[in-house]
Structures are given as C-alpha cells and as structure tokens.
C-alpha cells in the first residue's frame, strides 16, 4: 500500500498538477466575494467547491501518510535526535527533486506556450493587472449599487456588476495559470526564464501595499484613498536608503552589526 501511494504521488508530481492546484488555491477567495455579490446564485456552487477542496486536501494528506518513507536505522545512537524525521502527510509531497521532473508532452507544450520566455518584460505588468482585478472583485462585492451608480449609471445594474466580476475572476485565474507555467518552465529549462528585477519587486510591493491599505482603510471606515496613499508611502519610504534601515528595524527588530568584532 505504501509503495502504491508513493507511486501515485510521484505520478501526480510528474504532471506538475500539484503545483497548479497550489497556485489556484488563493482564487478560492473569489468565491467568497461572489457570495457577497450574488448570494442567490452562489449557494450550491460554493458548497460543492468547498466539499471538493476538502476532499482533495484530505486525499493528498492520506496519500502522504500511506506513502513509504526512508526506513529508520535499526540501531539507536546518540545522534538519532539530530536527524529530522521524514516528512509525512502533506509534507511527503515535497520529496521530489527537480531533476526527476518529466511531465507529459502536452504539459511541456502548455508550459512553453504560457510560461514567460527569455527576456520577458510583461511579468511586472501582469502583477499590476492581477492586483487590479483582485481589487475590482473586492470592491464589486463590498460596495453597494449606489456607489457604482455614482461612477456610471450602467454600473448600478446588478447584472453589469456580476459580469465585471466574472471578467476580473477570469483575469485572476489566467494570471495564476501563467505563473504556474512560468514556474514549471523554470524547473524544466532553468536558462529559459530570467529572474525578476528589483524594479519589478518594487512595483509589486507598491501595488500590494496600496491594495492592502485600501482594504484596511475601508474596513475601518476611513474610505479607500487614505489607505492607498499610506500603503504606497510606506513602500516608497522603505525604498529610500536613509529610511530603509529604520523601517526594517521597526518591523523585524534591530539587526546585529556586520562590522562588529566577534567575541
């Protein structure tokens, strides 16, 4: 039974579908937003989705528990406690080296088609689109019809807001799939995908901080704009050299000086 479970885990890992499921898990938040936007239409779908996710996680955990692990040494020694126990449960899914990755041909074609290629400069743009789509979905689920009607009369219609939400959800889903494809292409062809630049990381942090600030500010009743400004300002101040060390010290505590003498 243990060998069969290990083979099933290895087979799923070879297809890279386990990584795809992990990439798509955050999109489940969109279904909770859909419940707020269209509660009449979301009940049965949300229940089936919840049961499906729980079933998949339970199945993965069961396979991890049943899978064979490396046998422990028969003779006890004083160094036994220094060795970490082999991972079990969901941790057993991490026991595969990238060099053993050999997905089917159609998965390879899909990864090469959707994954970011050499010199790709659209990753930062995709991050902005992703966060914008998430922000739009959150606002559509939270703000009343009067808020949207003030922006444009057509947005006051429930059907229009639901259509916009579906478009935003499709964008989020596509960016997650493309992110999975880029990760798998990097594993299969390490030289084919360039690492992100510092500017791309800065743009991501700026957009993410503005989005989180907007959410927190709105939840606390201060409106949308103050949170966007404060979140973006914190990231910009953190990027300026004179302030960077102070902000890091506040967030993570003071760090040991690298120029100090070792005792």
Q: What is the pLDDT of residue 78?
A: 57
Answer yes or no: is pLDDT of 34 > 70: yes
Query: Domain spans of the chain?
Result: 2-70+100-196
pLDDT of 238 above 50: yes
Poorest-confidence range of 43-47, 60-64, 107-111?
43-47
Report pLDDT for 213: 81
Whole-number pLDDT of residue 167: 92
Q: What is the dihedral of CA 221, 223, 224, 229, to 10 degrees?
A: -100
pLDDT tens digits, residue range 68-104? 655 445 555 555 555 455 556 666 677 765 556 788 8
Average pLDDT over residues 38-42: 68
- 126 pLDDT band, cuts 50/70/90, is confident
**In 198-210, which positions are buried (b, 16+ CB within 10 angstroms) versus exposed (e)?**
eeeeebbbbbbbb
Is the pTM for the entire model greater than 0.85? no
For 29-38, the CB contacts below 8 A with 24+ separation are 30/137, 30/169, 30/172, 33/137, 33/138, 33/140, 33/141, 33/165, 34/141, 34/165, 34/169, 36/141, 36/142, 37/140, 37/141, 37/161, 37/162, 37/165, 38/158, 38/162
Per-residue CA distances from 174 to 86, 126, 169, 180 (Å): 35, 10, 9, 10
Sequence-distant (≥ 6) Cβ neighbours of residue 215 within 8 angstroms: 138, 227
């Amino acid at each position: 039974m243990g060998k069969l479970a290990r083979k099933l885990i290895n087979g799923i890992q070879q297809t890279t579908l386990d990584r795809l499921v992990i990439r798509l898990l955050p999109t489940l938040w969109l279904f909770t937003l859909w419940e707020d936007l269209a509660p009449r239409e979301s009940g049965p779908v949300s229940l089936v989705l919840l049961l499906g996710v729980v079933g998949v996680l339970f199945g993965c955990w069961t396979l991890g528990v049943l899978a064979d692990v490396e046998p422990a040494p028969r003779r006890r020694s004083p160094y036994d406690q220094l060795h970490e126990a082999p991972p079990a449960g969901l941790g057993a899914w991490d026991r595969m080296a990238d060099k053993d990755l050999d997905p089917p041909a159609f998965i390879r074609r899909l990864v090469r088609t959707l994954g970011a290629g050499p010199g790709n400069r659209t990753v930062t743009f995709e991050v902005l689109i992703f966060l914008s789509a998430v922000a739009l979905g959150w606002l559509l689920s939270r703000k009343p019809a009067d808020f949207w009607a003030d922006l444009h009369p057509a947005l006051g219609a429930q059907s229009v807001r639901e259509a916009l939400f579906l478009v935003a959800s499709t964008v989020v889903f596509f960016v997650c799939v493309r992110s999975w494809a880029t990760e798998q292409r990097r594993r299969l062809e390490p030289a084919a995908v360039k690492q992100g630049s510092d500017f791309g990381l800065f743009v991501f942090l700026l957009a993410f901080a503005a989005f989180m600030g907007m959410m927190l500010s709105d939840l606390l009743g201060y409106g949308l704009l103050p949170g966007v400004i404060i979140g973006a300002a914190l990231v910009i101040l953190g990027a300026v050299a004179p302030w960077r060390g102070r902000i890091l010290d506040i967030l993570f505590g003071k760090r040991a000086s690298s120029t100090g003498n070792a005792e």
